[in-house]
Structure 1
Amino acid sequence: MIAFLEAGLNSLAIHHIGNKLRNERFVLSDEPVALQDQLLSQLLMQYFLSGFDKVNEIFRLYHPSGDLNLNEVYHFASAIFDEPESFQENSKQLAKHLYESQNHPKIKPGELYIAYFEQVQVDGELHNAIGIFKSETKETYLKVFPQKDGFGLSYEQDAIDIRKLDKGCLIFNTEKEEGYKVAVIDNTNRGQDAVYWKDEFLKLRVRNDNYNQTTNVLGVYKNFVTEKLDDEFEMSKADKIDLLNRSMKYFKEKDSFDTEEFGQEVIGNEQGIASFLNYKKGYEDEFETPIPDSFDISDAAVKKQSRVYKSVLKLDKNFHIYIHGNKELIEKGFDDGKGMNYYKVFFKEEN
């Protein structure tokens, strides 16, 4: 979805951001970084961009009021796109906004990089992009060097591993009226201190494209089967796994999703179909995320969701049965003599 074969790094500003709640300060630079060294530019491109080639989910900037201009990142990014000569000054404003957005004492200080890229590819189209990156994790590196009697050894502290980007986002100069296309990475924080990057600083919402539509339907259906069905139907775990397997088969074999077709082929029960549609409608209303009745299926989203679709039937602590196909080949029963449940499994060959 995102590629950099034709990309170039045009401008770069570096600022330092401390933690406001720990009374740490920020330091702003007045001049952009000189980029005459070609090797340095290549290393920076690798550091900033290499992690985005695996990013499929695209967001957009927004503001709760509905006025995009009140989103600070949107405002300053738009100013840079409109007047590239204002890059350094607006990079300072982005740094100040990040400093004010930090709302947790555990947020680490670090360097903030604001970059202006040309010709970055997203969804098959080339666009200029603004990159915002923060480095929080520092490493110590050993350096070996030749000397008179052989080799010497030294080290460098507080260095940056260019293979590990802590936080980053790319704002593509397209779909401005909708809040731009935005790709985001956050590899350091998973708890309450993490929300500031996406929620407080950037203020992001998921862009309702086919990747997210595919993800949403698979997620809603999985929750429907695992959490809702027991309220209305009496079903075994094997039957639930079968329903999940059938839905994943549908998404892997089809090029597009159709709500009516999905209901008939996967659920196959009018009462169950109606229950699923009601559950889906509840999700759309609660999260203000409409899911269209038909859309093109994203293979990347299916691949990601297949990892969390469980097809394992766990029996006490003794057995796990992996169910991948025809549920008619497994039967559940109860043994009165042992007072225990059992499953009978039919197969042709033992591998």
Structure 2
Amino acid sequence: MVSFFEASLSELSVHRVGNKQQDEFYVLSDKSMHIQDELLNQLLKQYFLTPYQKVNEIYRFTHPNNDLSLNEVFHFVEEVFTNSELFHENSKKIATYLYEISNHPKIKSGEVYVVYFENVQIEGDLHDAIGIFKSETKESYLKVSPAQNGFTISYEQEAININKLDKGCLIFNTEKEEGYKVAVIDQTNRNGEAVYWKDEFLKLKVRNDNFNQTQNILGVYKSFVTEKLDEEFEVEKTDKIDLLNRSMKYFKEKESFDLDEFANEVIANPEGIALFKDYKQSYEQEFETPIADTFDISNAAVKKQAKDFKSVLKLDKNFHVYIHGNKQLIEKGYDGEKDMNYYKIFFNEES
């Protein structure tokens, strides 16, 4: 979804932000940098942009009062997109604001990089983009150098691994009125304090497009099959796997989703259909995430979710049975002599 083979790194500002609650401070640079060294420029682009090649979800800036101008980062970025000469001054405002909201005791200090890119591609179009990145994890590196009659070994402490971006966001100069297109990375804090980056600092919401609609309905359906059904019905594991397989078949074969069509073809049980629709509605209310009854299916979202739709029947620690097709070809039984359950599997050829 994001690629940077045509991208150029135009300007870079580096600051350091501590944890305010721990009485740490922040340090702001006096001026920005224009990286002339071609190798360093490429390494920085690799460090900042490579992780976004695997990002599918796109976010938008938001604000609780529905006034985008009150979103601090949106405001700073908008000023830069309007007048690039204000880049460094607003990068300092961004770093200062990040410091002000760094109040969780587990938030780590680190360098903050604000970068202006040109010609970054997202969803097939080229746009200028502003990147905000934070490096929190430091590592030690060995350096081996040739010397007279051999080699010398030295080390670098507190160095940054360019293959591990801790936190970042890319804000694309498009669709400003809707809150821009924003891609996000957060590799270090996945629980608790993680909300400070995406929710408190950036104040983002997921863009409600076909990708997210597809991903959300598949996630709701999987949760419905694996968790909710057991509360109302006695459902065999093979039946659950069959329901998941049929749903994935539907999404791979159809171009668009229709709730009634999906329910009738996949669930095919009036009580189950009513229960699923109620479950979907409860999800929408709880998470304030409406899912349309009809929308075009995103193949990228289907491919991503397919990895989580397991069709494996695990039998003790002895066997894993993969069920991909006709559920009628597997039967469950009980052997009284051995006092054990069993499955009978029918097939034509062994390969």
**CA–CA distance in structure 1, aligned partners of residues 155 and 286 of structure 2:** 54
Is residue 137 from structure 1 mapped to residue 137 from structure 2 by the alignment? Answer: yes
In structure 2, how many angstroms separate the alpha carbons of the residues matched to 1:128 and 1:315?
A: 53
Residue in 2 that maps onto 1:329: 329
**TM-score normalised to structure 1 length:** 0.95
Q: Pick closer, same or farther for the CA change 1:338–1:153 going to 2, 3 Å.
A: closer
Q: Report the Cα offset of residue 221 of structure 1.
A: 0.4
Matched, 1:296 2:296: yes
Q: Write the deviation string for residues 121-146 of structure 1: whole angstroms up to 9, x where unpaired.
A: 11111111110001111122222222
Task: Quote the offset at 1:195 in angstroms.
Answer: 1.8
CA RMSD of aligned residues (A): 1.6
Question: What amino acid is the match of 2:243?
Answer: L
* Contact preservation (8 Å) 1:128, 1:173: yes
CA distance in 2, matches of 1:54, 1:259: 29
* 1:39 paired residue number: 39
Mapped pair 1:209 → 2:209: yes
Residue 257 of structure 2 corresponds to which residue in structure 1?
A: 257
Deviation (angstroms), 1:40:
1.6
- Indicate if the aligned counterparts of 1:103 and 1:193 stay in contact, CA closer than 8 A: no
1:101/1:201 contact within 8 Å kept: yes
Q: Which one-letter code corresponds to 2:174 in the other structure?
A: T
SS at match of 1:342: strand
Q: 1:265 to 1:153 in 2, by over 3 A?
A: same
Secondary structure at 2:144 match in 1:
strand
Q: For residues 153 and 227 of structure 1, what CA distance do their matches in structure 2 show?
A: 56
How far does residue 161 in structure 1 lie from its aligned partner after superposition?
1.4
Displacement of 1:96? 0.8
**Aligned residue runs from structure 1 range 309-348, under 5 A:** 309-348=309-348
Report the equivalent of 1:176: 176
Cα contact 2:166–2:187 (8 A) shared by 1 = yes
Aligned counterpart, 2:236: 236
Q: Which amino acid aligns with 2:347?
A: F
State the secondary structure of the residue aligned to 1:246: helix
CA shift, 1:108, in A, is 1.6
Helix, strand or coil: the match of 1:44? helix
Q: CA deviation at 1:215?
A: 0.6
Shift of 1:350: 3.0
Offset of residue 55 of structure 1:
0.5
Q: Give the partner amino acid of 2:256.
A: S
Q: Deviations over 1:297-322 (max 9, x none)?
A: 22221122112112122234443322
Deviations 1:315-343 (A, max 9, x none): 34443322111100011233444444332
Number of matched pairs: 351
* Partner SS, residue 107 of structure 2: coil
Partner of 1:108 in structure 2?
Answer: 108
Measured against aligned partners, the alpha-carbon deviations of 1:253-274 in whole angstroms (never above 9, x if no partner) come to 2222222221222112233222
Which segment drifts farther, 337-346 or 247-256? 337-346
Which secondary structure does the structure 1 equivalent of 2:14 belong to?
strand
Question: What is the DSSP-based 3-state SS (H/G/I as helix, E as strand, rest coil) of the residue aligned with 1:35?
Answer: coil
Unaligned runs of 5+ in 2: none
Alignment of 1:111-190 (within 5 A): 111-190=111-190
Q: Distance in 2 between matches of 1:18 and 1:48?
A: 21
Deviation at 1:12, TM superposition (A): 0.7
Residue 95 in structure 1 maps to residue 95 in structure 2: yes
Percent identity reads: 68
Segments of 5+ residues of structure 1 without an aligned counterpart are: none
The farther-off stretch of 270-279 and 217-226 is: 270-279
Could you tell me how far 1:170 is from its partner in structure 2? 0.2
Supply the distance in 1 between the matched residues of 2:343 and 2:148 (Cα, whole angstroms).
75
For 1:121 and 1:317, the matched residues in 2 are separated by: 47
